[in-house]
Structure 1
Amino acid sequence: MDTSHLLSMLADTLARIDGDMPLASRLCRACVEILGADSGAMTLSPSPEERLVVSTSDGMSAQIEDLQEVLGEGPVQLALEQDRLVVSPVEGAAPAEFPMFAQMMGSIGGGTVTAYAAPMRVRGKVVGVLSLYTTGGRLSHGLVDVQFLADAVGSALLEDVEPLDWSVQARIHQATGMVTAQLRIPPTDALAVLRAHAFARSSTLQDVVADVLARRLDFAREDSDDENQRTEEP
């Protein structure tokens, strides 16, 4: 299909979607509709080690993306690692690609799910993946159109990266680093401490992070205070 027609379809579809929804959600739903998928998701990846699912179109895609996050394998990971459009029936997929993911997909989608994972490229750099899932057939457009639309929505999202969740993620990383230094523990343990503290305070992780960054909460000082209290007890 002519690229100008695809962009026109994207604009028309976006205009029909609730404007109060986040841009990522609207772009994701538009791609699902235009390309004739049953479900879809959008993942941003500023580096090979970091991934952030910014939108899922429904429960099926949410389950699939969560499964890929937990297992660390699947079409999205393959598309990011190899910078190519991955098309695969996720049930019966080649064991060398994502065996555990394929094995656990049986309960999602109610049948054989075909996954399309297209890297979103902006100025030659992969910034994420557009994922599309079908349960009863092929997409309504060819792979060239899928890749073009993935690149187009990637460019549209690039300016919206900060307002989405990257600023929050950056603050969490910064606070995790501070707790790592305060308690001399690995970053994974430091993040667990932050989450546990949020649970204990019936608060949110973001609130605890804000307290750490503002130095209202210092875990090293808290440990020292607890030790002093134990020493002073009769």
Structure 2
Amino acid sequence: MTNRSAVLARLASLVAAAPRDQSLAVRLCAACVTILGADGGAITLASTRPERLTVSTSDGTSARIEDLQDVLGEGPGQQAFREGRAVVTHVDGDHGGPFPMFTEMAGDIAGPVTVWAIPMHPGGTTIGVITLYRVAGALTEGLDDAQFLADAVGAALLDDRMTAGMAPFATWSDRARVHQATGMIVAQLAITPDDALAILRAHAYASSGTLDAIAREVVDRRLTFTHTDHGVSHDAAASDDSTGSGGR
């Protein structure tokens, strides 16, 4: 990926194209698997706490890997959540390393694989982990892009009163503007309002801005989504940051 605009455009395209009867978490998980070239993945919230919840798995292997970490209380996802950093684990028959029980039992489940656990911390606090596995080779994108995507997905899953740790809406006009922008994205992408709001949240994270600021760009038509022969693209000149990290 060359910039954040490309990341978010691909994410929007895949969410818009997925079956409408799937939950947002399921579609976001599937999008991460596709964008990063993994064989499977899962999204888990509060990964080391009693209220730990796996909200989506892309396949049976991913589900069993998450169940294994839950039962053992160890694994890359657990460490990624505690330390707030990406953790890469090779399951290749060597049962040593930091997760000996997990490595041995994951090998029985999936055979030789590499597991990436990437924390979602769009507002600075880790809210969960995206865990991906691949049988052969690395992810198609680097860890920096994977981390950005994970944080964008985390922002999309946040409660709509707050985006990336930002304060709630200051006025009713802010809320009205967000509703208007959401409606415009619904019309442009033919997706549900919840999905459109998730896309707004992801853009707010990417630009280190507020939800209202991104909504204003949509309403003013400085940020628009369009269908192309290759999926969904957007003109985001006012909010794209292709060279930096958006202050994060």
TM over 0.5: yes
Amino acid across the alignment from 1:148 = F
**Deviation, structure 1 residue 47:** 7.0
Q: Which residue of 1 aligns with 2:12?
A: 11
Runs of at least 5 residues in structure 2 that lack an aligned partner in the other structure: 161-248
Larger C-alpha radius of gyration, 1 or 2?
A: 1
Question: Larger deviation: 89-98 or 61-70?
Answer: 89-98
CA change 1:11–1:159 in 2 (3 A) is same
Q: Which residue of 2 aligns with 1:150?
A: 150
CA distance in 1, matches of 2:16, 2:98: 38
Q: Superposition pairs for residues 152-171 of structure 1, below 5 Å?
A: 152-159=152-159
Task: Find out whether 1:141 has 2:179 as its counterpart.
Answer: no
TM-score, structure 1 as length reference = 0.64
Which structure: greater helix fraction? 1
**Per-residue displacement from partner, 1:60-84 (whole Å, max 9, x unpaired)?**
1011001111101001001011111
Q: Which residue of 2 aligns with 1:53?
A: 54
Runs of at least 5 residues in structure 1 that lack an aligned partner in the other structure: 161-234
Q: Which residue of 2 aligns with 1:217?
A: none
Q: Which residue of 2 aligns with 1:227?
A: none
Q: Which residue of 2 aligns with 1:199?
A: none
**Deviation, structure 1 residue 123:** 1.1
Contact 2:47-2:77 at 8 Å conserved across structures: no
CA distance in 2, matches of 1:49, 1:41: 18
TM-score, structure 2 as length reference = 0.61
Amino acid across the alignment from 2:158 = L
Amino acid across the alignment from 1:22 = S
The higher-RCO structure (CA 8 Å, 6+ apart) is 2
CA distance in 2, matches of 1:23, 1:93: 37
Amino acid across the alignment from 1:41 = A
CA distance in 2, matches of 1:106, 1:48: 25
Amino acid across the alignment from 1:113 = V
Q: Compute the RMSD of aligned alpha carbons.
A: 1.7
Amino acid across the alignment from 1:12 = S
CA distance in 1, matches of 2:96, 2:85: 19
Q: Which residue of 1 aligns with 2:41?
A: 40
Amino acid across the alignment from 1:15 = A
Amino acid across the alignment from 1:84 = R
CA distance in 2, matches of 1:93, 1:83: 26
**Deviation, structure 1 residue 106:** 2.0
CA distance in 1, matches of 2:14, 2:117: 21
Greater than 6 Å deviation, 4+ residue runs = none
CA distance in 2, matches of 1:128, 1:12: 23
Identical positions, percent: 55
CA distance in 1, matches of 2:141, 2:31: 14
**Per-residue displacement from partner, 1:155-191 (whole Å, max 9, x unpaired)?**
101127xxxxxxxxxxxxxxxxxxxxxxxxxxxxxxx
**Deviation, structure 1 residue 50:** 3.3
**Deviation, structure 1 residue 95:** 3.5
Q: Which residue of 1 aligns with 2:67?
A: 66
